[in-house]
Amino acid sequence: MLPLQVSAQEKKIVEKKDTIPFYRGLSVSFDLVGVGMLAFSDYGQIEGAVRVNLKDRFFPTIEGGYGKADHIGDGTEFYYKTGAPFFRVGCDFNLLKKKHGPNCLYAGLRYAFTSYNVDIAHPDFIDPVWGTPVSYVVENQKCNFHWLEIVVGLDTKVCGPLRLGWSVRYKRRLAHSEGGLGSTWYVPGFGKFSKTLIGGTFNVMIDI
């Protein structure tokens, strides 16, 4: 009797068991883009994040910072000033097939919120009817803003616990209140006021 021939496709493949622990530590990060905006423009933010690593697959993340603006509108001469903390919470998912390597390509979601006060002023102008100077000043007008962020990013190990990475973010407004002022010029953590916005970060990260 001829020996039984078994094709390669019929061979049973036993997958190697994943022995990586569920909890893989956490990392703290600091964004350089917002700092650059503060240095070279009249608005921006300082922000950082804490990210938990679960089996190199899921990364629950908390982000927070302080955004501010001190702006005079071109042509309009309206003066706008605000400064307030903001917060984001969400989770990223590692998209790479080889999840335990030095690189991480990820996508995720964030819910974000800020509550801020705004000052708006305009130089005195002459009333066209009465011919008298009229001032326009709004102080400490309370506002709030809720938004969602869709995040795609990449980070890589440089040496030791140091990692560098970047992310691109699609931001969409969910709800807002501006106390009857209309659209405010800048929202801390979100950026210039709009319904949607594209932003990004460049992160310096330390694994702990």
Read off the tokens for 152: 């795609």
Tens-of-pLDDT digits for all 208 residues of the chain?
Answer: 555 554 555 545 455 666 788 999 999 999 999 999 999 999 999 999 999 999 999 999 999 999 999 999 877 788 999 999 999 999 999 999 999 999 999 999 999 999 999 998 887 766 677 767 767 788 889 999 999 999 999 999 999 999 999 999 999 999 999 877 667 899 999 999 999 999 999 999 999 9
Please state the pTM of the whole predicted model: 0.85
Question: Which 3 state secondary structure label does DSSP give 185?
Answer: coil
Phi-psi region of 40 (alpha: psi -120 to 50; beta: other; left: phi over 0): alpha
Q: Domain limits of the chain?
A: 28-86+98-207
- Of the options 2.40.160, 2.70.70, 3.30.1760, 1.10.3470, the CATH number for the domain spanning 28-86+98-207: 2.40.160
Which positions ≥6 away from 149 have C-beta within 8 Å?
Answer: 88, 90, 109, 110, 112, 169, 170, 171, 172
Residue pair 56/26 in contact (Cβ under 8 Å)? The answer is: no
Selection from 109, 65, 112, 64 nearest residue 91 by Cα: 109
